[in-house]
Amino acid sequence: MSLSRIEKSSWRPYFDNMSRLLDGKRAEIDIESLELGSQVEAQWLPLLGISYDARNDVVDIILEGLDHRIFHPKELFVEQTAFELSSVEVVDSDDQRHIVKLRDPLMLS
């Protein structure tokens, strides 16, 4: 897997194109900063979508029962293979890192 930085002008089309690969994924959201340390906001909830609204300058991560908004993001990094997105890291204007880890749900027999 490779870590890639996505240019801000490409955020909206990137998430629009990735939406089909996110269907059925579960997500964990960790927030890391020097002031707060590391905090888990959500643990492996069903992911409903990730989008970027350029007009309001906000990344919106929608999980079942939680809408996590990141206002005035500065950087976006993704870890992915050719066919799978495994994590998204958004750095906001306060240098907090919002790390979204993705995985497939466990299949029960």
| Highest-confidence segment of 21-30, 51-60, 77-86 | 51-60
Q: CA 100 to CA 28: how far, in whole Å?
A: 6
Q: Could you tell me which residue, 27 or 80, shows the higher pLDDT?
A: 27
Helix locations, the chain, DSSP H: 11-22
Q: CA 1 to CA 79: how far, in whole Å?
A: 6
pLDDT for 106 beyond 80:
no
- Burial code (b: 16+ CB inside 10 Å, e: under 16) for 40-55 equals ebbebbebbebebeee
pTM of the model: 0.91
All domains in the chain, ordered by first residue: 2-103 (2.30.29)
Q: Which two tokens stand for residue 103?
A: 């995985």
